[in-house]
């Protein structure tokens, strides 16, 4: 006797069983109308037929599609493939999805549970008879038939059909703008008129809907906007409403109210809709709990569209519950409308496996282990890199979380002591957080969070995110629990109020293209660290250095910044062991009215040698150290020293550059302490101007760190403006000799060749050689006046006796025809030690 094949309306991509009674009628040109359909996992049964997706029009065609059977073998017990060559062109239509049904033999027919319409009976399916084959005497013939069957099975299986996803139905929710607006507006009008009849409401809200999808959309939007979650009823403070009219009138209900109403309203417009019971990770869900013997507590819906089932949850789409205040927060969430099963399963687990709508269903245990992801996680296009389960155990006191993203995003996190309920605490996060127990870094396409719990125990970790360009608060995207058996012994990490470590996602838009330091922790050697940022346009930079035990005034002396048109450099000194936060702020160089914005944050770790207090940078450093954008704009170029820090091993050096705009210049030498200096620090600088070249000679009085400030008068009669600061680090313990004391008559073109020191030996002959353009006479005035002679090289020279009693020698000149002498500089005479 042949097996009767049921053509049914369902399009499940999973195994199920259909039980046919003897009263099955053949309708619509030979198709069997199935009166009962019970969906369950297929069982290995010698008299079963598996349906996987072929089109059968009548009993005769089904029988003709079977391969030839061994003599005496019943069709109901043979393994066959209903996918003959005559029907290959109709095997898989666009509406078809691989479906598995087990058609029991006539003697195993259970009672019918559900009547299918004649329309659904004409759906496309493929029938495969799967049963245990009896051993026949003619074994070779049986093996040959079995081989033919395998070939046909493989040929049919090679044809695959892709399940439709939400994006295949509509590219964006914006396409429903007209339908949504009407549903919301009509719902408000009906509420005002106190209309609570389901049929009347459905007719009104679907008036603008043209398709089955739009009708469903109108129903779902109405549910989300007109029914609030009954928190009081859920908590048992009031009686739960049951009938649809009561729920509509009160405007509130629990999950079953939403699902029941959705089913009733879909029935009114001819959309097949099922209520799906199961577990959810909503309010009341306790992280880590086993649901194995726990009764399911949630209901949602599945709807049939175009021959395929889709999932939706109007309860979750209407808003969220604030358990702390026992209130409902109304917030329309479009994500739970026709959610893809692969995403829906992270928060919803149906009692019946078939309603997972997955090709490979997951177990309840796997559902419990899965990371909880909010709708924002999927809406932002995030993906979980690691871990794959929600519970993390630290390794050496450390655990890590990593997310990927397709569009620039901003992240932060919250780590707190473990609480049972998943939905507790804030669902949004402001900018500033306490980040002492973790290190969050954001690279080009991923986020890494290194968690460092402070003590043994269980912790809850919430990750928050938002699109980079958004000005809204960061929203909760996923959660984890962290178990820390043994914490890592480590120093305190400074708080980072700027969310993440490394270059910020906005760095590129602010003009910073790359960094010499990655987002990983930077180990500082010898207490010195240099950060270099490449820029796409001229920028100004400010830096901030923070250590848990360091004073702000000391921190300022640990930073020196150099600003060039295409490069920003920050020199950092670490006077203490432990972790530092180095934050960088930038703005466009010319836009002085614009505020500085955070572009990068780096975590530095110093555990080796540290810088001593007397090695810190000098106080009052300017924001521009070393040659850079400012000096270039002023026409100062070709610096002999291009870095901000100059180290001298002999206690002296010459810094040269060109003054292309012939600006009036001024230099200043300073040091934090100069207690024992016999001369002011200005005597340890000597400037020479020849054509456009400027030479600043430095002779440092003792070991230590000095600041050399370079100033220029940009406009005639204006103030001197800072050009740049040089940091001079002298490691020579021999004191330098001061230069002569220079006066204003010493001007451009004047060059002192000898003597190059301003402190002369007493009672000794000193050779003077000097070039002074445009002068008529050059003399050295002491006890007597000695006139220098002009040689062929236009240099005034002569030997001068320093004398014994005088304390200074004056180098003076006579300009023009005047007999008056102008002092260029003075030289001091060393005092002889008195005999005791």
For 787-793, what is the mean pLDDT?
93
Q: Which of 79, 78, 75, 77 is nearest to 60 (CA)?
A: 75
Write down the pLDDT at residue 419. Answer: 81
Helix axes 198-205, 212-226, angle to 10 degrees: 120
Q: Over 60: is that where the pLDDT of 1 sits?
A: no
Fold of 378-419+435-484: Immunoglobulin-like (2.60.40)
Q: Which of 50, 290, 318 is nearest to 184 (CA)?
A: 318
Which neighbouring-strand residues pair with 686? 697
Q: What is the pLDDT of residues 588-646, one digit of tens each?
A: 999 999 999 999 999 999 988 999 999 999 988 999 999 999 999 999 999 999 999 99
| 3-class secondary structure per residue, 70-132 | CCCCCHHHCCEEECCHHHHHHCCCCCCCCCECEECCHHHCCCCCCCCCCCHHHCCCEEEEECC
Write down the pLDDT at residue 816. Answer: 67
Write down the pLDDT at residue 286. Answer: 81
pLDDT category at 766 given cuts 50, 70, 90 is very high
Q: What is the pLDDT of residues 244-257, one digit of tens each?
A: 899 999 999 999 99
Separation of alpha carbons 422 and 346, rounded Å? 14
pTM exceeds 0.85 for this model:
no
For 133-162, what is the mean pLDDT?
51
- Greater model confidence, 142 or 794: 794
Which neighbouring-strand residues pair with 463? 413, 478
DSSP 8-state assignment for residue 174? G
Class of the CATH-defined domain 169-364:
alpha beta
Paired tokens of 150: 């395998």
Q: Over 70: is that where the pLDDT of 729 sits?
A: yes
Residue range(s) of every CATH 2.60.40.10 domain in the chain:
378-419+435-484, 740-835
Which neighbouring-strand residues pair with 667? 710
Write down the pLDDT at residue 696. Answer: 96
For 372-393, what is the mean pLDDT?
93
Q: Over 50: is that where the pLDDT of 582 sits?
A: yes
Paired tokens of 364: 């309840």
Q: How far apart are the first and last CA of the chain?
A: 140
Q: What does the longest C-alpha to C-alpha distance in the chain come to? A: 145
Residue range(s) of every CATH 2.60.40.1220 domain in the chain:
502-606
Q: Over 80: is that where the pLDDT of 219 sits?
A: yes
For 11-27, what is the mean pLDDT?
36
Q: Over 70: is that where the pLDDT of 703 sits?
A: yes
Tokens 């039980």 belong to: 19
Residue range(s) of every CATH 3.10.620.30 domain in the chain:
169-364
Separation of alpha carbons 506 and 648, rounded Å? 40
- Greater model confidence, 429 or 469: 469
Write down the pLDDT at residue 831. Answer: 78
Write down the pLDDT at residue 225. Answer: 95
For 386-393, what is the mean pLDDT?
92
DSSP 585-640: EEEESS-TTSPPEEEEEEEEEE-S----GGGSPPTT--S-BSS-HHHHHTTEE--S
Class of the CATH-defined domain 502-606:
mainly beta
Write down the pLDDT at residue 287. Answer: 79
Could you give the percent of the chain with pLDDT greater than 70?
77
Class of the CATH-defined domain 740-835:
mainly beta
Paired tokens of 379: 């809406």
DSSP-H helix ranges across 269-321: 314-318
Separation of alpha carbons 694 and 681, rounded Å? 20
Helix axes 255-268, 198-205, angle to 10 degrees: 70
Write down the pLDDT at residue 148. Answer: 61
What SS3 class is residue 187? helix
Write down the pLDDT at residue 71. Answer: 37
What SS3 class is residue 462? strand
For 706-716, what is the mean pLDDT?
94
Q: Over 70: is that where the pLDDT of 802 sits?
A: yes
To the nearest whole number, what is the mean pLDDT of the chain? Answer: 80
Q: Over 60: is that where the pLDDT of 525 sits?
A: yes
Burial of 652 (0-12, 13-18, 19+ CB in 10 A): middle
Q: What is the pLDDT of residues 154-192, one digit of tens each?
A: 544 444 468 899 999 999 999 999 999 999 999 999 999
Q: What is the pLDDT of residues 52-98, one digit of tens each?
A: 333 333 433 434 444 444 333 343 333 333 333 333 333 333 333 33
């Amino acid at each position: 006797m042949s097996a009767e094949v049921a053509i049914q309306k369902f399009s499940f991509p999973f195994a199920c069983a259909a039980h046919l009674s003897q009263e099955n009628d053949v309708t619509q040109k030979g198709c069997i109308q199935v009166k009962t359909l019970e969906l369950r996992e297929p069982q290995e049964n010698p008299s079963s037929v598996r349906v996987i997706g072929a089109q059968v029009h009548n009993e005769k065609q089904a029988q003709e599609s079977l391969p030839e059977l061994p003599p005496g073998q019943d069709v109901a017990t043979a393994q066959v493939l209903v996918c003959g060559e005559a029907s290959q062109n109709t095997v898989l239509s666009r509406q078809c999805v691989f479906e598995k049904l087990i058609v029991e033999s006539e003697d195993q027919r259970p009672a019918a549970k559900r009547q299918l319409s004649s329309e659904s009976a004409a759906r496309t399916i493929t029938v495969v008879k799967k049963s245990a084959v009896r051993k026949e005497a003619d074994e070779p013939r049986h093996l040959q038939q079995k081989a033919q069957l395998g070939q046909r099975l493989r040929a049919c299986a090679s044809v695959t059909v892709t399940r439709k996803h939400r994006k295949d139905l509509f590219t964006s929710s914006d396409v429903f703008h007209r339908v949504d607006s009407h549903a919301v507006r009509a719902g408000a009008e009906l509420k005002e008129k106190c209309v609570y009849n389901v049929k009347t409401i459905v007719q009104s809200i679907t008036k603008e809907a043209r398709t089955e999808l739009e009708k469903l959309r109108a129903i779902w939007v109405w549910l989300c906007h007109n029914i609030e979650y009954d928190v009081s009823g859920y908590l048992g403070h009031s009686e739960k409403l049951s009938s649809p009219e009561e729920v509509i009138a009160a405007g509130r209900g629990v999950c079953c109210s939403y699902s029941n109403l959705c089913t009733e309203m879909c029935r009114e417009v001819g959309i097949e809709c099922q209520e799906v019971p199961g577990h959810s990770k909503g309010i009341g869900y306790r992280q880590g709990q086993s649901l194995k013997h726990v009764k399911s507590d949630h209901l949602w819906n599945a709807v049939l569209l175009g021959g395929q089932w889709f999932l939706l949850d109007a309860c979750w789409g209407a808003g969220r519950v604030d358990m702390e205040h026992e209130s409902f927060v109304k917030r329309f969430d479009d994500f739970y409308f026709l959610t893809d099963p692969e995403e829906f399963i992270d928060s919803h687990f149906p009692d019946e496996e078939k309603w997972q709508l997955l090709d490979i269903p997951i177990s309840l245990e796997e559902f419990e282990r899965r990371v909880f992801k909010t709708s924002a996680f999927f809406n932002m296009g995030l993906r979980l890199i690691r871990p794959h389960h929600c519970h993390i155990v630290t390794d050496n006191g450390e655990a890590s979380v990593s997310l990927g993203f397709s569009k620039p995003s901003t992240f932060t996190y919250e780590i707190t002591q473990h609480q049972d309920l998943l939905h507790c605490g804030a669902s949004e996060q402001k900018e500033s957080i306490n980040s002492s127990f973790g290190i969050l870094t954001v690279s080009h396409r991923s986020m890494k969070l290194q968690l460092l719990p402070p003590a043994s125990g269980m912790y809850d970790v919430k990750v928050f995110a938002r699109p980079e360009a958004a000005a809204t608060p960061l929203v909760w995207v996923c959660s984890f629990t962290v178990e820390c058996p043994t914490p890592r012994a480590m120093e305190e990490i400074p708080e980072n109020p700027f969310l993440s470590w490394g270059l910020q996602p906005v760095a590129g838009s602010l003009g910073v293209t790359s960094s010499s330091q990655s987002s990983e922790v930077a180990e500082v050697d010898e207490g010195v660290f240099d950060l270099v940022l490449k820029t796409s346009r001229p920028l100004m930079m400010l830096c901030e250095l923070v250590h848990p035990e360091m004073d702000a005034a000391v921190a300022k002396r640990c930073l020196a910044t150099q600003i060039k048109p295409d490069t920003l450099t920050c020199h950092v000194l670490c006077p203490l062991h432990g972790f530092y936060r180095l934050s960088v702020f930038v703005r466009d160089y010319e836009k002085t009215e614009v505020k500085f914005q955070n572009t990068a944050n780096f975590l530095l770790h110093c555990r080796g040698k540290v810088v001593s207090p007397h090695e810190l940078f000098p106080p009052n450093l300017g924001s521009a150290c070393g040659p850079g954008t400012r000096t270039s704009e002023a026409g100062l170029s070709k610096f002999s020293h291009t870095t901000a820090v100059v180290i001298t091993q002999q206690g002296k050096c010459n810094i040269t550059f060109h003054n292309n705009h012939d600006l009036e210049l001024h230099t200043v030498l300073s040091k934090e302490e100069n207690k024992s200096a016999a001369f002011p620090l200005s005597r340890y600088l000597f400037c020479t101007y020849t054509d456009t070249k400027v030479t600043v000679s430095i002779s440092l009085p003792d070991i230590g760190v000095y600041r050399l400030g370079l100033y220029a008068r940009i406009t005639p009669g204006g103030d001197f403006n800072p050009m740049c600061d040089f940091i001079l680090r002298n490691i020579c313990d021999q004191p330098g000799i001061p230069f002569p004391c220079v006066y204003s008559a010493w001007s451009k073109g004047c060059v002192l060749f000898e003597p190059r020191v301003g402190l002369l030996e007493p009672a000794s002959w000193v050779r003077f050689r000097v070039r002074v353009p445009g002068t008529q006479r050059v003399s050295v005035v002491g006890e007597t006046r000695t006139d220098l002679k002009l040689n062929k090289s236009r240099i005034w020279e002569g030997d001068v006796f320093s004398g014994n009693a005088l304390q200074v020698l004056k180098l003076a000149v006579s300009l023009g025809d005047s007999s008056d002498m102008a002092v260029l500089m003075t030289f001091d005479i060393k005092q002889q030690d008195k005999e005791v």
